[in-house]
Amino acid sequence: MPERSERNGYNYVKKFKSSIAFWQETGGGLDETVIQELMDHGYNIRRNGVSNYTLMKNSRIVFVGDIPDDTDDIKSTKDIPSWKRMCYCILKNDHSCRFMGFGLTRQDQKRIDKIKRKYGEMINEK
């Protein structure tokens, strides 16, 4: 990102770095059909145990090397990391990066609750 945008988009940079680290070190749980599709298309992946994040205890997959630019050739899921998904977050002004699978942090949720209380009171006063 350009320096000016990076300062304004610190949240994006932080989330993107977190996502890249997760997919290169821990890995996400994916169904066997997705894993096979990734291997068939030549993605540089390896198994990294079993995921605690999935109900079916799917295998965790880590990306060896760089995250792909896009994963348009993978049709069985959209939950694979790519630079294209990161760009969508920026284009959609998705600061919490929900499109990439992130949830709200506890701090973000508290801030939203505070804003709702503040503006809810203003609406009720009218």
Model pLDDT for residues 15-45, shown as the tens digit of each residue: 999 999 999 999 988 989 999 999 999 999 9
Distance CA 126, CA 123 (A): 6
Over residues 55-80, the pLDDT tens digits come to 788 889 999 999 999 999 999 888 89
Looking at the structure of the chain, the number of domains it has is 1
Contact (CB, 8 A) for 86 and 68: no
Provide the CA 44 distance to its chain's centre, in angstroms: 19
Q: Would you place residue 8 in the very low, low, confident or very high pLDDT band (cuts 50, 70, 90)?
A: low
Find the domain containing 66 and state its range. 3-125
The angle formed by the CA atoms of residues 18, 63 and 8, to the nearest 5 degrees, is 30
